[in-house]
Amino acid sequence: MEEMSSQVRLRLLPSARCLFDEPIQVKISRLKSRQVVTIKASSTDEKGVVFRSSATYRADGDGEIDLVRDASLNGSYVGVEPMGLLRTLTPNTLNTYFYKNKALEPHMVKFSVHDEEKHDRMLAEATNERLLMRDGVSRVPVKEGNFHGVLFIPPGEGPFPAVLDLCTFMSEKRASLLADKGFVVLAVPVFFEKPDISGKMHLDHYEEAVTFLKKLPQVGSKGVGVISRSKGGDIALSLAAFVPGIEAVVWINGCNANMGIPLFYKKRLILSPLMFNFSKVIPTDSGAKIIKYAIENPLDEKNKGSLVPVERAAGRFLFVASEDDLNWDSTAYVEAMVERLKRHGRSNFESVFYPAAGHLLEPPYGPFCPSALHGMLNFPVMWGGEPRTHAEVEVKLWKKIQEFLKTHLRCDDGHIKPRL
């Protein structure tokens, strides 16, 4: 071993193993006084795409660097940002999303320290294992009737509050991380395969998922919570309006009208589709398009049949809109829903608006994604968001979601079901 490199220490605190949504502290010690080094991070997603980031730091007089305290001088980000290396993980291809959707496999991030002066020689390395499931959470694939999904059950006896996670396409990330916090969560995708835009959607299939959750012996909440984003948002609103037993809905950057596909319930059409005008799509230099202005106005007379009658819902709503969402006009949709609820004398909602955040609000500490292939369209789209602010919003919102669901999905002790 060479004299210095064997000495340098790279520590991930409090532990190199943590949950995906927990921050870590990166500390480097035993460098030379004021030594300049580059810290690199890399991670491979579930499709085999490698994402990388790097930042240059100068050690203090004692040869130490602490990412919670010290500013990056240059690289993927500049300034003090303790989790900046994770936020800025980027692939070398444009319009690429970081796929981390399987709960059983941790998000592995490799950190390394390199000597600026000696041809980038590596001085130390460490791997951060970011788990989606804490110890004791169980994962059960479910295929029942007309729906399939994945169920996550926290450790312990319960009773637990129940949440349906309506992901647009199957992802276990948000559901497993919520189960870590003491919720029984069933992740059900809105689209099982490539969406059939010419077809029909049936609210009954999602109602089956709600009924399944309510019957679980571990569930203690009277009703079910629903968490949703994007296309999942209008399905969540429709469940709240037409299906009994929905106590709390988290709606993130969705629409106030039924998007794109006719919605049926009990064999009849309940909501006509709000359509797209492709001539209003705006191209950008990256090859990704802005589709925000291509969606017809849901408040136009001809689109009234697509508006979800949110005033019929008995449960509580948390409306979340990113003001820099380039996918939908989420802010306008929230304002329209709030106006509609007030007009009907309802006050069962709270709304939050986040300036400079984009469409893809996810659990915190994943790589920021500016643009990617749209699941329902066959071209990449811009999601929006100023990256650093967006990342800060994800941290705040994640706490808010948990508080909202805990508050409105109370488990009474009298509600414990007999064990089977």
* 68-87 pLDDT, tens digit each: 999 999 999 999 999 999 99
| Helices within 131-202 (DSSP H only) | 173-179
Q: Tell me if 301 sits within 8 A of 334, measured CB to CB.
A: no
List every span in the chain annotated with CATH 2.60.40.2240. 9-131
Closest CA relative to residue 148, chosen from 105, 198, 191: 191
* 138-412 CATH choice from 3.40.50.1820, 3.30.10.20, 3.40.50.300, 3.90.1010.10: 3.40.50.1820
CB 53 within 8 A of CB 88: yes
Beta bridge partners of 143: 148
pLDDT tens profile 171-192: 999 999 999 999 999 999 998 7
| Predicted confidence band of residue 116 (pLDDT cuts 50, 70, 90) | confident
Delimiting residues of CATH 3.40.50.1820 domain(s) in the chain: 138-412
SS3 labels along 71-136: CECEECCCECCCCHHHHCCECCCCCCCCCCCCCCCCEEEEEEEEECCCCCEEEEEEEEEEECCCCC
pTM for the model: 0.95
Active site residues: 230, 325, 359
Which residue do the tokens 């979340």 mark?
Answer: 320
Residue 3 in this model has a pLDDT that exceeds 50: no
Residue 267 tokens read as 């064999």
Q: With both helix axes pointing from N to C terminus, report the angle between 203-215 and 231-242 in degrees, rounded to the nearest 10.
A: 70
pLDDT tens for each residue of 44-58: 999 999 999 999 999
CATH code, 9-131: 2.60.40.2240
Query: For the residues 248-261, what does the mean pLDDT come to?
Result: 97
- On the question of pLDDT at 5 being above 70, the answer is no
Q: Evaluate if residue 324 carries a pLDDT over 80.
A: yes
